[in-house]
Structure 1
């Protein structure tokens, strides 16, 4: 079966070839399908998000068409918020949709899903050996944090790990997006706050002065993210794939910016050797008791906004700490966090980074027994 994929006004649509139906032998273990070959390396998963019109579809078209030498499995999420608000990469002929994995002529795989991407991920693992990276595109109004949390709770995804969250921003329209929210926090800002890499797209449409202004706005929301500058969504894939944002030992940036924004970054550090139980207790207090858990809404102009109650809301947490039992890595999205043991080699200092709304620096410092850097 051959179908068209990823309609684009700018690029010729990539061609598809039938998928080889042969899959590795599966074995049933504890109610979960797992590959017999445990030597298969874990696969990094990159989540691509970005507000409507940021250029995600154009990026995916490049990935699925060009001969870049990378074997990437791409999941296109067609619907968001329960309705057809965006169809960035519909697979199919006419109105017919497909949810099977299709193999591209450049070695990539592609699948469109109309519901939970986790099901597509679980089915993808049957094709282990055909790909080295997984890329999930969310719809423009989706919360990438929901996908990020999945990798800590779904045992069926044990051979996959979250490599990073990449947010695409429309450099020309980003200010308009913020203005349309009427002063409320936008979904666009939350996507930036959760990002490990921000792709600032459509640079050909703005001046250098406007570029610097947008850059400062992004850094005021998330000072720890890497910013890639692009035109027509052409980005070096090595800058967004295999970045190990959830396992890298490099400390985050702590640059401060003076642009007013309710979303901010707070970095804590310490010279003390902590107890793991104390760290877990502190994070449980901060994430489960101290923060506001209300979700987003849509205002009367149609913009997706986050209800701002004036209380502390956590979006992202990451860091490396030394405990009496060894070094640990802490990763969190919204009210969920994960702690894993790591090597302490090449870690310059202990740190915890909180990205969120109305962050109370004193409260964060008092509960964790760490100082604000």
Structure 2
């Protein structure tokens, strides 16, 4: 059963536990072995953050850590790759005059001057040389196009899985970036970078007071309370915080949404939680989601949820980025357990009242 109007972007599936499958937004590739799902795609971490937040410092530190992974780093920037020279073994050229550096620790670095898709295709041919891809965005970038590349393009989704989005935040200067007024309809990139994040590094905390750090943390939470935040100086964090995020792993989404519902904290207009008891009518949910994404997809940075569907023995776990949506059946409801649907919306100028009323209208 497909969410109407979304084509390959979303499918609700009824399947037995022995048929558990990974459902990608733009591919039908599944690997089942005795009921377990094996995903052999290449995990990708997107690192974003405003100019001067410490992205390159983080990358250099990451490449020097003894974490046992071979990393392919893609810098979506103009100019040369700013990787410490002591790491570089040699350079070579590929099609389109995009430089590839082979590092002496077994990692690969490359600069994308034109098309990210072309570089990803080039790297597939070198699959045996790395275990993980890290993409560093330009400081002024809205992460949306890169995220959607991994959710909506079948050739990419067949070979790569988006592990998560990590955002670096400059504790000293983030306030002025978040407060910057934009023309109507223009996205504030700093807010978008926080809104898309699965994890945040609050960097340069040594340059501000404890009270200022706490104030920034509250501000970040008001935009995106689902993102884990760690404080840092000189972007010094363990590799485990950057790699293996699992932000787009639907098995983790349910717990994340549940924790958000239990917290019950108030949020600004950018972060909205909706909870409702009872089972939902699948057809009504389809119609509501179609209308919602047609009308509001540009304002919905990310949304996640756990739904109780009438006649389904399992929870339905889903998440989306703008109009790209995916989901799969989750854990079964226990006998006698109260069926609840929980949804979390992160975006701009969202109407909590209308969202709650829309979900209520889907009740059986």
TM-score, scaled to structure 2: 0.74
Structure number with higher relative contact order (C-alpha < 8 Å, ≥ 6 residues apart) = 2
Aligned partner of 1:335 in structure 2 is 323
Q: Residues of 2 paired with 1:163 and 1:370: CA distance?
A: 34
Q: Structure 1 residues 366, 182: CA separation in 2 closer, same or farther (over 3 Å shift)?
A: closer
Q: Structure 1 residues 234, 351: CA separation in 2 closer, same or farther (over 3 Å shift)?
A: same
Among residues 311, 316, 321, which one is paired with 2:307 in the alignment? 321
Equivalences for residues 54-93 of structure 1 within 5 A: 54-79=53-78, 89=82
Aligned partner of 2:356 in structure 1 is 365
Q: Residues of 2 paired with 1:363 and 1:100: CA distance?
A: 49
Aligned partner of 1:250 in structure 2 is 255
Contact map agreement 1:42 1:159 (CA 8 A) in 2: yes
Q: Residues of 1 paired with 2:300 and 2:45: CA distance?
A: 21
Structure 1, unpaired ranges of 5+: 1-31, 294-312
Q: Secondary structure of the residue that 1:238 maps to in structure 2?
A: helix
1:89-133 CA-to-partner distances (Å, cap 9, x unmatched) read 38999xx99525433222222111012322212221222233222
1:256-285 CA-to-partner distances (Å, cap 9, x unmatched) read 7778x5x52111223333344433322221
Q: Structure 1 residues 256, 212: CA separation in 2 closer, same or farther (over 3 Å shift)?
A: farther
Q: Secondary structure of the residue that 1:232 maps to in structure 2?
A: coil
Contact map agreement 2:81 2:110 (CA 8 A) in 1: no
More helix by share: 2
| Match status 1:279 vs 2:281 | no
Contact map agreement 1:219 1:257 (CA 8 A) in 2: no
Among residues 187, 204, 207, which one is paired with 1:205 in the alignment? 207
Q: Structure 1 residues 240, 114: CA separation in 2 closer, same or farther (over 3 Å shift)?
A: same
Aligned partner of 1:192 in structure 2 is 194
Aligned partner of 1:50 in structure 2 is 49
Aligned partner of 2:174 in structure 1 is 174
Aligned partner of 1:8 in structure 2 is none
Q: Residues of 2 paired with 1:61 and 1:315: CA distance?
A: 29
Q: Residues of 2 paired with 1:131 and 1:370: CA distance?
A: 48
Aligned partner of 2:116 in structure 1 is 117
Contact map agreement 2:74 2:110 (CA 8 A) in 1: yes
Contact map agreement 1:320 1:350 (CA 8 A) in 2: yes
Q: Residues of 2 paired with 1:57 and 1:319: CA distance?
A: 34
Q: Structure 1 residues 279, 74: CA separation in 2 closer, same or farther (over 3 Å shift)?
A: farther
TM-score, scaled to structure 1: 0.72
1:332-365 CA-to-partner distances (Å, cap 9, x unmatched) read 1123322334444899964211001121111111
Displacement of 1:234 in angstroms is: 1.3
Aligned CA RMSD, in angstroms, stands at 3.3
| Match status 1:265 vs 2:259 | no
Displacement of 1:179 in angstroms is: 4.3
Contact map agreement 1:268 1:370 (CA 8 A) in 2: no
Contact map agreement 2:305 2:319 (CA 8 A) in 1: yes
Q: Residues of 2 paired with 1:246 and 1:40: CA distance?
A: 13
Displacement of 1:43 in angstroms is: 2.3
1:24-43 CA-to-partner distances (Å, cap 9, x unmatched) read xxxxxxxx9x9xxx987122
Q: Secondary structure of the residue that 1:69 maps to in structure 2?
A: coil
| Match status 1:144 vs 2:146 | no
Displacement of 1:223 in angstroms is: 1.2
Q: Structure 1 residues 276, 121: CA separation in 2 closer, same or farther (over 3 Å shift)?
A: farther
Q: Secondary structure of the residue that 1:73 maps to in structure 2?
A: strand
Q: Secondary structure of the residue that 2:197 maps to in structure 1?
A: coil
Structure 2, unpaired ranges of 5+: 1-26
Contact map agreement 2:65 2:239 (CA 8 A) in 1: no
